[in-house]
């Protein structure tokens, strides 16, 4: 025990000064050495969570010896035996989890005091200089030992005022995450109403002459907590501060992303975290364009086959064409090839697509992707109903070349997903789904360079429940977004557009945008990127409009 360090700690609190510290969860005692070297007032060695064993704890305590840094051990539970062990090896005090009543707190204090006031046994360890200073240590330990209860459940709320009356307690510490969990908001740092409850309890504790602490979540939050009156703020945990620094460095080079949320093998691509503003090298040189079916051209590709372009060179898109193709009953399109990949998604009705003689029957929201130069043809097998398709080509001016060669036809099974190395078929009912950062949105990747090596574009299907949305983001390529069912609001740098009935937004490279379903019904979209992977750069929404306004004023 470092008596002088404890006295300085309490003197700072008495003068209204904040005592700042670090939560230690990693085994290297170098972390505590750093805290001491930087003059932190305290460290808490976490023996409740994580993997620290008593050898690690002992090394951390040793690193804090003969310094002004108070070293506390957070125990796994209130325990007389664990308390004895932590204090015997030289801890200046303990942090006790899950304190809910005054009686529990009184028991924790008894664990920390030698008789007759308590039940701590006298050991021949570091605290007593291996038995050489029994009298000196035991004469001052009861008065100076620091006992810090953790308030981390709503069950403690009605008892905090009584807990403040317990002798031998100077500081209370809050655990907002566990507090939120007990309030019904598991997984949130401060769920709805929890921040207010903690502030109210802080006022109760302060009015009794005691002090409060908790961990800050950022530099801004640290300032906020001190201003709110928390006098034992934690700068953070060692792991949290390291991750925070890594995120900042990765953000500076546009490589920041959310780590996997599970210990299973990663499923899907990492979720990038928001940038404060768009990268300077991605300033857009074109405006977004909204095209509806009513104001698109009508191009007859063949008798009974009509193409209505929605994105392409005509509205400044680069390396991308999308549109709606309708097939009258029994109408067909002769065999042909394209110098780029093509995606075909059925919106209504049915379609037969034959690729080098392999015949696929597709229904609503089924999709087929045909790599460049593969001969293929299409036919509406229905004698009574028109079929309608969404098509995408990886070029801004469509080209096709008719093929006269005949292929022997093989009818593919109804669950066929294509030929490896050639066409890919996505059956809507069985296609794997993924979910975005908002639980109200689900996605199907139809095609990208991971699914079809060498493809020039990427795209798929998304369904948004009421309230579902995407974060504000931009791309390093042009994008086509067609609203096939329901209604969507498209926001591009603060400009709002309402889209439905296959209205399509052409959002050029570098424009910050997002979609949201503000209606009471589901909304479907088909999205296509003029890039081989569906990569997006998420922008902090508050800063995105401001930065775009600044761009506009600079231009």
Is 454's pLDDT higher than 50? yes
- What are the phi and psi torsion angles at 98 (to 5°)? 55, 45
Do 86 and 182 belong together in one domain? yes
Do 123 and 157 belong together in one domain? yes
**What is the distance between the alpha carbons of residues 461 and 490, in angstroms, rounded to a whole number?**
16
Q: Is residue 282 part of a domain?
A: no
Do 219 and 358 belong together in one domain? no
Do 107 and 162 belong together in one domain? yes
Boundary-marking domain end, from 382, 406, 426: 426
What is the helix, strand, coil percentage profile of the chain, to 5? Answer: 25, 30, 45
Is 268's pLDDT higher than 70? no
Q: Is residue 261 part of a domain?
A: no
Predicted confidence at residue 544, as pLDDT, reads 53
Do 386 and 441 belong together in one domain? no
Q: Is residue 490 part of a domain?
A: yes
Boundary-marking domain end, from 249, 270, 302: 249
Name the pTM for this structure: 0.57
For the segment 272-286, the average pLDDT, to the nearest whole number, is 80
Boundary-marking domain end, from 392, 426, 460: 426
The domain in which residue 442 lies consists of 434-554
For the segment 496-523, the average pLDDT, to the nearest whole number, is 95
Do 484 and 411 belong together in one domain? no
Do 377 and 468 belong together in one domain? no
Do 219 and 241 belong together in one domain? yes
**What is the distance between the alpha carbons of residues 353 and 389, in angstroms, rounded to a whole number?**
12
CATH number for the domain including 193?
3.20.20.60
Q: Give the total number of structural domains in the chain.
A: 3
CA distances from 429 to 5, 366, 414, 419, 484 (A): 67, 8, 12, 19, 17
Instruction: Please compute Rg for the chain using Cα positions.
Output: 33
CA distances from 187 to 191, 218, 220 (A): 9, 18, 22
pLDDT tens-place string over residues 285-296: 999 999 999 999
Q: Is residue 270 part of a domain?
A: no
3-state DSSP of 163-176: HCCCCCCCEEEECH
- Residue 187 banded pLDDT, cuts 50, 70, 90: confident
CATH number for the domain including 481?
2.60.120.10
Do 152 and 216 belong together in one domain? yes
- What are the phi and psi torsion angles at 311 (to 5°)? -140, 140
Do 411 and 477 belong together in one domain? no
The number of beta carbons lying within 10 Å of the beta carbon of residue 148 is: 22
Q: Is residue 140 part of a domain?
A: yes
Do 225 and 102 belong together in one domain? yes
Predicted confidence at residue 440, as pLDDT, reads 78
pLDDT tens-place string over residues 74-133: 999 999 999 999 999 999 999 999 999 999 999 999 999 999 999 999 999 999 999 999
Catalytic residues: 49
Q: Is residue 264 part of a domain?
A: no
Do 327 and 391 belong together in one domain? yes
Closest to 362 measured CA to CA, from 433, 423, 448, 449: 423
**What is the distance between the alpha carbons of residues 328 and 326, in angstroms, rounded to a whole number?**
7
């Amino acid at each position: 025990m470092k008596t002088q360090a404890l006295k300085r700690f309490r003197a700072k609190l008495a003068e209204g000064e904040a005592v700042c510290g670090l939560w230690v969860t990693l085994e290297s005692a170098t972390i505590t050495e750093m805290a001491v070297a930087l003059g932190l007032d305290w460290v808490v060695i976490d023996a409740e969570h994580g993997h620290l064993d008593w050898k690690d704890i002992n090394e951390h305590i040793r690193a804090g010896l003969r310094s002004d840094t108070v070293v506390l051990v957070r125990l796994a539970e209130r325990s007389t035996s664990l308390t004895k062990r932590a204090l015997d090896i030289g801890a200046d005090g303990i942090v006790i989890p899950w304190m809910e009543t005054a009686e529990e707190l009184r028991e924790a204090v008894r664990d920390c005091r030698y008789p007759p006031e308590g039940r701590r046994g006298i050991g021949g360890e570091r605290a007593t200089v291996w038995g050489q200073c029994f009298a000196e240590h035991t004469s001052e330990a009861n008065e100076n030992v620091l006992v810090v209860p953790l308030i981390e459940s709503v069950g403690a709320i009605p008892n905090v005022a009584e807990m403040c009356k317990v002798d031998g307690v100077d500081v209370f510490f809050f655990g907002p995450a566990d507090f939120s969990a007990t309030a019904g908001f598991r997984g949130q740092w401060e769920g709805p109403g929890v921040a207010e409850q903690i502030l109210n309890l802080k006022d109760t504790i302060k009015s009794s002459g005691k002090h409060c602490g908790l961990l800050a979540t950022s530099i801004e939050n640290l300032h906020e907590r001190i201003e709110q009156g928390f006098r034992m703020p934690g700068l953070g945990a060692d792991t949290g501060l390291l991750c925070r620094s890594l995120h900042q460095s990765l953000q500076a080079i546009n490589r920041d992303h959310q780590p996997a949320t599970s210990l299973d093998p990663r499923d899907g691509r990492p979720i990038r975290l928001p940038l404060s503003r768009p990268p300077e090298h991605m300033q857009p040189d074109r405006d977004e364009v909204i095209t509806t079916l009513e104001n698109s051209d009508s191009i007859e590709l063949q008798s009974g086959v009509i193409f209505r372009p929605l994105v392409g060179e005509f509205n400044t898109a680069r390396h991308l064409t999308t549109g709606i193709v309708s097939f009258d009953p029994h109408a067909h399109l002769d065999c042909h090839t394209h110098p780029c990949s093509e995606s075909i998604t059925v919106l209504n009705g049915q379609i037969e697509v034959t690729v080098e003689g392999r015949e696929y029957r597709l229904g609503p929201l089924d999709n087929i992707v045909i790599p460049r130069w593969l001969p293929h043809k299409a036919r509406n097998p229905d004698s009574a109903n028109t079929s309608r398709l969404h098509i995408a080509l990886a070029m801004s001016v469509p080209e096709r070349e008719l093929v006269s060669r005949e292929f022997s036809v093989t009818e593919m099974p109804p669950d066929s997903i294509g030929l490896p190395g050639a066409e890919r078929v996505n059956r809507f009912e069985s296609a794997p789904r993924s979910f975005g950062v908002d639980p109200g949105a689900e996605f199907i990747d139809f095609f990208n360079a991971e699914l079809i090596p060498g493809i020039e574009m990427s795209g798929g299907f998304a369904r948004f429940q009421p309230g579902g949305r995407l974060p504000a983001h931009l791309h390093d390529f042009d994008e086509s977004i067609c609203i096939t069912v329901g209604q969507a609001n498209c926001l591009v740098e603060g400009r709002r557009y309402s889209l439905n009935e296959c209205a399509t937004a052409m959002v050029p490279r570098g424009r910050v945008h997002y979609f949201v379903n503000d209606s009471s019904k589901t909304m479907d979209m088909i999205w296509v990127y003029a890039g081989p992977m569906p990569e997006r750069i998420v922008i902090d929404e508050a800063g995105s409009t401001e930065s775009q306004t600044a761009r506009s004023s600079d231009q």
